[in-house]
Amino acid sequence: LLAHGKFMWVASGPDIHRIPKETYRISNTLSGHRSLVTGLCSVGADVWSCSTDTDIRIWDGERGTTTKTLRFHERPITCIALI
């Protein structure tokens, strides 16, 4: 679960639901990961997600579209944080 801008981002299996804070109803479901989403992190205007599929996806925080996929891990990624 991540609060970012006007939306709540909720991981559900390999998908991410975006829920507007004013309605608290799913507005759209983001697909792209091939396996369980294990973490969400806010990085500036973007949202980063990680998964057991070994990918990190960077999403446009306002539009909810993938802007980049990072594929350099060999093992499942279990969490993500900005430090």
Residue 64 in tokens: 């909810």
DSSP string, 26-65: --EEE---SS-EEEEEEETTEEEEEETTS-EEEEETTT--
Q: How far apart are CA 58 and CA 67, in angstroms?
A: 6
Per the DSSP assignment, residues forming a β-bridge with 49 are 40, 57
Q: Are 69 and 57 in contact (CB under 8 A)?
A: yes
- Residue-wise pLDDT tens digits, 22-79: 999 999 999 999 999 999 999 999 999 999 999 999 999 999 999 999 999 999 999 9
Residue 52 in tokens: 């057991």
- Residue-wise pLDDT tens digits, 64-82: 999 999 999 999 999 999 8
Q: What is the pTM of this model?
A: 0.94
